[in-house]
Structure 1
Amino acid sequence: MQTGVIAIIGAIYVVGCFILQFDTFEGALSIPKAFSWLLINFQPTQNSMSYLPQIMTKLFETVLMSIASVVVAGIIAIFFAIVGSKATGINKFTQILVRGIASFFRNIPLVAWAMILLFSFKQSNFTGFLALLLMTVGFLMRAFMEIIEDEAGEAMLALKATGASYFQVIFQAVIPQIIPSLISWILYMIENNVRDATLVGILTGTGIGFIFDLYYKSFRFDAAGMTVLAIIVVVIVLETLSNQIRKVIL
C-alpha cells in the first residue's frame, strides 16, 4: 500500500516536471548558489544598523496590528462558534450557516483577501488589518467550534441536569471550560499573523512588509537582511512567550 502511494506521488512529480520542463538536477545544483548569494548580499552590515530604528518602528506597528486583528477576530469567532457548534447551536440552520461562513473565510488565501481589499480601501494599515482579520475569523471560528464540541460536553450535561437555562449553560459551563484552549489558539494566531503580516504589508504597502519591499527593490540588501533578522527575532520571542503562557494555563 505504502509503496503504491509513493509510486503514484513519484509519477505525478515526473509528469509535472515534464509538463513544466523543470530539470530537477539543475534545480538541485542551483540551491547552494542561491543560499550563497543570500548569505553574501543579505548579511547585515554596520551601515544597516542606521536603518534599525525605522525597522523596529514598523515592526512594532505590525505586531500591534496582528494582535488587534486576532483579538477582534477572537471576539467575533467565539460568538459565532457558540451559535454554530453542534453542542450549543440554536438550530440546524444556524449550525450549517456558521460552518459555511467559517469555511468561506478560511479557504480564501490571505493574498487574495489583501488584493481584494486593496481595491476598496487602498494602501493603508486598515487594509492590512482587515485582511488579517477576515482570515483569522475563519480559522478561529472553526477551531472554537471544535473546542466546544470536544471539551464542554460533560460540563453542559451536568448543568442542564440541574435545570439551568441556555445562557446559564453558556456562561457558567461552556466558556469557563474552554478558556484555556481559546487562549492557546489566540496566542498561536498572533504568532502566525506576525509572519503573515509581512506578506500583507508587501501587498498593501504597510508595516514591516512595506519596509522590506522598499529596501529590496532599492537594492539595499543589507537593510533588507536586517529587516528579516528583526522579524525572526520578534517571532522567536513571541513564540517563547506564548509557549510559557501555554504551560501555565494548560
Structure 2
Amino acid sequence: MDKPRAANPPYRLPPRLFDARCRACWFAAAVLALVVASFWSLDLQWRQFFSWEALRSMGRFASEFFPPDLSPAFARRVALAAWETLAMSVVGTGLAALAGLALALPGSRLHPGDRAWARGLTRWLLNALRSIPELVWAALLLISAGLGPLAGTLALAMHTTGVLGRLFAEAIENAPAGPGDALRVQGMGNDRVFLYATLPQVLPQLLSYTLYRWENNIRAAAILGVVGAGGLGQLLAFHMGLFQIDKTATVLAAMLLMVAAVDAASHGIRRALTR
C-alpha cells in the first residue's frame, strides 16, 4: 500500500515586532529611548536654523565662494600644500602600518597554546593610542616638533598605529590555524610559522586595512593644518581667518579633488588585491 502523504507543514506567521523575551528588541528600544532623550536634552534651535533670515545669510555666504581664486600664484601655493598633505598621509600611514604590525605580534595569540604574556599590555597601549584623536595628537606634538608637517605626520602615525595594530592583531588571531600547525609539528618556531604560514594568509587583509586607513588619513591630514600642522588645512585656517572666501573656495576644491582621487586609487588597489 502507498504510504499516506505527510501533511503540508503549517505556514508560520511572521514574528511580532516586539517580543518581551527578545533581548535584541529590548536593546533596540533602549537605543531608541537614548536617541529621543538626546534630542530632548539638547537645545536645538531648529526653528531659528530654518528661518528665512538664516537661509538668506547662508545663501549670501555661499555666493561669496564664487568665483574661486584661480590666479597662477595662488594655484601654485595650493598645489604645493596639497602635495604636502598627500605626503603627510602617505608617510603617516606607512609608519603606522609598520608600528602596528610590530605591536600586533605581541598583541595577538598566534595559536591556542600561546601564552601571549604581553597581549594584555599591548592591547591597552593600542587602545590608548587610538583613543586620542589626530587633532589632539597634533596639538600635543606641536610642542616638541614645532609648526609644520612633522607634527601632523607624527599625529597621524600615532593614532593610526592604534587602529591598525588592533585590526592587524585580530586578523592574525583569526587566521586559519592549519598551515601553522603543520609547520609547528615539524619543529618550526613562532617566527617562521608567522612568516611562512600566517603572514601569507592575512597579508591581503592587512593591505586592505592599510589602504582604508590611508583614505581616512588623507581627510585628517587636510584638517590637521588648522592647528598649524601644515598642508591644505593650514591654508584653509589662514584664509578663513582673514575672510578671504574666494581663496577658501579654492582650498576646499583642492581638498575635494584630492580626497576623490585618493578614494578612487585606494578602491582600485583593493579590488586588484582581492582578485
**Fold shared by both chains (TM-score > 0.5):** yes
Which amino acid is 2:227 matched to? L
| Equivalent in the alignment of 1:27 | 49
**Structure 1 unmatched runs, 5+:** none
SS at match of 1:84: coil
CA contact (8 A) 2:93 2:210 kept: yes
Conserved? CA contact 1:44–1:226, under 8 Å: no
The letter of the residue matching 2:41 is V
SS at match of 2:187: coil
Please say if residues 78 and 232 of structure 2, whose CA atoms lie closer than 8 Å, have aligned partners that are also in contact.
yes
1:48 aligned partner = 70
1:108 to partner: Cα distance: 0.9
**Equivalent in the alignment of 2:38:** 12
Is 1:68 the counterpart of 2:91 in the alignment? yes
- Change in Cα spacing, 1:4 to 1:118, as seen in structure 2 (3 Å) is closer
Q: Larger Cα Rg: Structure 1 or Structure 2? A: 2
CA contact (8 A) 1:201 1:210 kept: yes
- Which stretch of the first structure deviates more once superposed, 7-16 or 101-110? 7-16
Single out whichever of 195-204 and 158-167 deviates more from structure 2. Answer: 158-167
Is the 1:73–1:133 contact (alpha carbons within 8 Å) kept by the matching residues of 2? yes
Identical-residue share of aligned pairs (%): 26
Q: Deviations over 1:156-203 (max 9, x none)?
A: 223323332211101101111111111111111111111101221110
Higher relative contact order (CA 8 A, sep 6+): 1
TM-score (norm 2): 0.81
Bigger fraction of residues in helix: 1
> Which aligned pairs between 1:1-250 and structure 2 lie closer than 5 A?
1=25, 2=28, 5-17=31-43, 22-29=44-51, 32-33=55-56, 35-45=58-68, 47-50=69-72, 51-87=74-110, 91-250=115-274
User: Hey, what's the Cα distance between the residues in 2 that align with 1:124 and 1:174?
Assistant: 39
User: What code does the residue aligned with 1:56 have?
Assistant: A
Q: 1:206 to 1:108 in 2, by over 3 A?
A: same
- Measured on the aligned residues, the alpha-carbon RMSD in Å equals 2.2
Q: Which amino acid aligns with 2:189?
A: S
Count how many residue pairs are aligned between Structure 1 and Structure 2. Answer: 245
Mapped contact 2:168–2:206 kept (Cα < 8 A): yes
Q: Which deviates more from structure 2 when the two are superposed, residues 47-56 or residues 219-228?
A: 47-56
Instruction: Provide the TM-score with structure 1 as the length reference.
Output: 0.89
**Structure 2 gap segments, 5+ residues each:** 1-24
Distance (Å, rounded) in 1 between the aligned partners of 2:128 and 2:30: 34
